[in-house]
Structure 1
Amino acid sequence: MTGPLQGVRIIDMTTVLMGPYATQILGDLGADVVKVEPPTGDTVRDVGPRRHDGMAGIFLHVNRSKRSVVLDLKKPAGREALLRLAADADVLIYNVRPQAMARLNLGYEEIARVNPRILYVGVYGYGQGGPYAAKSAYDDLIQGAVAIPSLAKTAGADVPRYAPSAIADRIVALAAANAVTAGLFHRLRTGEGQAIDVPMFETMAQFVLGDHMGGLTFDPPIGPSGYARILDHNRRPYRTKDGYVCVLVYNDKQWRKFFDMIGRPGLMDNDPRFATIGERTRHINELYQMVAEVMPTRTSAEWIALLEAADMPVMQLHTIDSLLADPHLGAVGFFDVVEHPTEGAIRSMAIPSQWSKTPPQVARQAPRLGEHSAEVLAEAGYSAADIHKLAEEGATVLAPAAQ
């Protein structure tokens, strides 16, 4: 491994999407991520298409660069094994409610008692100082809590709609990965471990309100909430003669070129509504309506060629299927068909960032349930006989040899 987090060990007690995506990022960056699963496994193992039980596509895309160990934390022997793993770890990250960790007697105090230098990172729904502290949280609920469906309706959807991607899970996962790396940097300077909480609600509230606080930023308010350009119902892929195309004309230079292109030269000089970015924002509906009306006069290919020749922002509208065949992603090697030890050929996505000195790399493909139980427990000091006894007691599960 050559990644910048080489030598960092992470005990990953997360499941589903948010936590596993965060720890996959850290694993790709070189950390040794030990995924601790209950005997039934991560629930997302069987969500969606799969060749074998427990190895569905979504699971494969958020659990690479990890090892899997099964521990039943409700059994004393399973909890003791977790504490032994934590004693030699740099980070423990979980995404259940803190109340659940407390019921397992695995709160920060218990973990810090065996390893005071550890980073104890909670990624869950709501900050613990408010009335929502004990509420459960999922991506859909958090999207609703921070007004994303309401914004979609304001922007033209027929009814409030969730974004068709688990954006809350993935955005908060990025925040969690940032928190872990910053916490590790602090510990490097001071030697201090600490508890770090990354609540979904507050993280996403900041994300959304950064765009849409608007006039409510000021006290007293000087205008309504909402970023008018983003919320305009014409802010969408424009219909062309034969399909759709994505266009964003933004600054003065670009609008002047665009008005010339559609046969309306001098419009910025003659119509004060379009003279400055401030006025254009106030009259964004009329402006975008003008673009929507002219786009069907040419094909998508004609518009792309014309706008690119003028160095103006334009992009084709992909579907998921066409995105997989995108020529740029092909040229940069974003997709690779790799051979999974048990699942056969799978399409894997590259690590997006590029590093000149410590390039991240995929350590291994997503593990089978308990694939590394014996290996990880042996590293924690358990003998073969001890491991066999844990398995007999149901405190762990040992995966059969790969076929």
Structure 2
Amino acid sequence: MQKKTMGPLAGIRILDLSSVVMGPYATQILGDLGADIIKVESPTGDSMRAVGPMKNKDMGALFLHLNRNKRSVVLDLKQEQARQACLHLAQDADVFLFNTRPEAMARLRLDYETLQAVNPAIVYVGAYGFGNQGPYAGRPAYDDLIQGMTGLPALYQQQTGREPSYVPLTLADRAVGLHVAIAILAAVIEARQSGCGQQVEIPMFEAMSQMVFGDHLGGRSFEPALGQSGYARLLVPYRRPYATRDGYITALIYNDKHWERFFALIGRSELWLDARFNTHSQRAKHIAQAYELVAQTMLGHDTAYWLEQLNAADIPAAALHTVDSLMDDPHIQAVQALQTQHHPSEGMLRTPAPVGKYSRTPAHIHTGAPRLGQDTSTVLRSAGLSESYVNSLLASGAAQQAAKED
């Protein structure tokens, strides 16, 4: 892996007790930007360690991507010695992040009041399923559940007429993970200005509901309502990749210039004079007819023809990728959006690159995802715990250190 450089978040330390995808994705982003991420794991480790494919036990592919630029400390927080060690680490941390239910943190006596007592400036971030003020507080939540509860499968059914279906991404985990990362940065900035920390809650259900409402409140944005909910353009059946004579193309004919050029391109310039299509507002009312026209027209030629013609007309269009062909995309390769680097235990790895370019303080992948407990002794000792105390933790099983690699 590359030598560590000073990213824009150098000097921020996050004690990360989160697991699976949402919390680790947030701290992956922050770690790429230079924050020091101390990943506190139970003796069994983050469950994503077990999700293959993998070369070595507990080093699954998703875990490797989500947990680069982090140090792994294993503490059995049900043991008092380990809890005290965690509180000691919190004294020098900017952030304490967890994604278990608040009741579980209270049982461990790692609630906000306890953390605040050892570090008044700490930002205590809970990222979990449901806000504590609502009737769903404390319920378990996972990506599929939140997708279903916020209507994504129903929107898919409404658009396609098929059975409800989840988006084939951990969309809720990753979208809400972005909220978590933003919340951490906002609260750390404020804490450094005021000298006081605070408790922050980022619930999945509310965050994903905001995303859905933002697009689909529609006529119900108003009181009294001016129509039904839903953003019509996103829900028409022909809003999908267009079939061509030999495959598919993704294209978006969107603004006035696009539509005028498209009608001219297909030899139907008279349609630009049609009141249904010659203004944005009117097209929005008749978007199903407009997209159906495009779909029928695209069947008349092959993909290469449409790419050439649409690009020449400056209408956004591209070939339809699979995950595998996306890896070979010339732009993806030119900007190195996938990086191949050497991992100490896993060998050569291909992993998504950090997003964005910083001219003075670049984001980097400086260390690969850690083995379970790889950094326990080093982190505890560097936090000021004595050699004898660390050895006592290890001997009792309250902490665990990974064996050194050959």
Structure 2 length as normaliser, TM-score?
A: 0.98
Aligned partner (choices 339, 353, 359) of residue 350 of structure 1: 353
Q: 1:113 aligns with which of 88, 113, 117?
A: 117
Instruction: Tell whether 2:231 aligns with 1:227.
Output: yes
Residue identity in the other structure for 1:29 = L
* Counterpart secondary structure, 1:272: coil
Partner of 1:368: 371
Match of 1:128, as an amino acid? N
Alpha-carbon distance in structure 2 between the residues aligned to 1:157 and 1:95: 36
AA of the residue aligned to 2:79: K
State which of 377, 381, 384 in structure 2 corresponds to 1:381. 384
Deviations along 1:135-159, one digit per CA (max 9) or x if unpaired, are: 1110111111110000000010511
- CA distance in structure 1 between the partners assigned to 2:130 and 2:315 by the alignment: 42
Structure 1: 5+ residue runs without aligned partners? none
The equivalent of 1:314 in structure 2 is: 317
Shift of 1:360: 1.6
1:68 aligns with 2:58: no
Give 1:357 shift.
2.2
Once the two structures are superposed, residues 234-293 of structure 1 have per-residue CA deviations (whole angstroms, 9 ceiling, x without a partner) of 100001111100010001110000011111012121x21112111111111111111110
- Displacement, 1:353? 0.6
1:24 touches 1:65 (CA, 8 Å); kept in 2? yes
Partner Cα separation in structure 2 for residue 238 and residue 9 of structure 1? 48
- Aligned residue identity for 2:112: Y
Q: Deviations over 1:182-210 (max 9, x none)?
A: 11111222112111111111111111110
Which amino acid is 1:383 matched to? S
**Does the aligned pair in 2 maintain the 1:27–1:363 contact within 8 Å?**
no
Aligned AA (1:196): V
- Matched with 1:359 is 362
C-alpha RMSD over aligned residues: 0.9
Q: Which of 249, 255, 266 is the aligned partner of 1:251?
A: 255
Separation in structure 2 between the aligned mates of residue 40 and residue 363 of structure 1, nearest angstrom: 26
Query: Matches of 1:158 and 1:267 in 2, distance apart?
Result: 32
Write the mapping of 1:287-326 to structure 2, written as runs, cut at 5 A: 287-326=290-329
The partner residue of 1:184 within 169, 184, 188 is 188
Q: Could you tell me how far 1:383 is from its partner in structure 2?
A: 2.7
- Aligned residues between the structures: 402
Q: Which residue of 1 aligns with 2:179?
A: 175
- Aligned-pair distance for 1:385? 2.8
Provide the residue aligned with 2:45 in structure 1.
41
In 2: Cα distance, 1:329 partner to 1:31 partner:
26
Mapped to 1, the partners of 2:114 and 2:386 lie a distance apart of: 25
Q: Tell me, yes or no, if structure 1 residue 208 matches structure 2 residue 212.
A: yes
* 1:273-322 deviation digits (Å, cap 9, x = unpaired): 11211111111111111111011111111111111111111111100111
Hey, what's the Cα distance between the residues in 1 that align with 2:91 and 2:143? 32
Residue of 244, 263, 267 corresponding to 2:267? 263
Match of 1:22 among 21, 26, 29: 26
Distance 2:278 2:248 in 1: 28
For structure 2, the residue ranges without an aligned partner over 5 or more in a row are none
TM-score of the superposed pair, with normalisation by structure 1: 0.98
Counterpart position of 1:281: 284
Write out per-residue CA displacement over residues 88-139 of structure 1, whole angstroms, 9 at most, x where no aligned residue: 1111100111111111110100000000000001111111101001111101
Letter in 2 for 1:32: D
Deviates more, 1:351-360 or 1:103-112: 351-360
CA distance in 1, matches of 2:298, 2:111: 58
Aligned to 2:158: 154
Secondary structure at the aligned position of 2:15 is classed as strand
Q: Find the counterpart in structure 1 of residue 339 from structure 2.
A: 336
Question: Percent sequence identity over matched residues?
Answer: 50
The answer to whether the Cα contact below 8 Å between 1:13 and 1:94 also exists between their aligned partners in 2 is: yes
In the alignment, the residues of structure 1 paired with residue 107 and residue 191 of structure 2 have an alpha-carbon distance, to the nearest angstrom, of 28
C-alpha distance in structure 2 between counterparts of 1:275 and 1:333, whole Å: 41
Which amino acid letter does the alignment assign opposite residue 33 of structure 1?
Answer: I
Aligned equivalents of 2:318 and 2:99: distance in 1?
37
> Quick check: 1:5–1:26 contact (8 Å CA) kept in 2?
yes
Residue 70 of structure 1: CA displacement? 0.1
Amino acid at match of 1:243: G
Residue type of the partner of 1:268? W
Greater shift, 353-362 or 55-64, is seen at 353-362
Residues 1:96 and 2:100 aligned together: yes
Q: CA 1:49/1:334 → structure 2, altered by over 3 Å: closer, same or farther?
A: same
1:79 aligned to 69, 79, 83, which one? Answer: 83
Verify the 8 A CA contact 1:66 1:363 in the aligned structure 2: no
The answer to whether the 8 A contact 1:30-1:363 is kept is no
Structure 1 counterpart SS, 2:299: helix
What is the alpha-carbon distance in structure 1 between the residues aligned to residue 82 and residue 282 of structure 2?
64
Residue 201 (structure 2) pairs with residue 197 (structure 1): yes
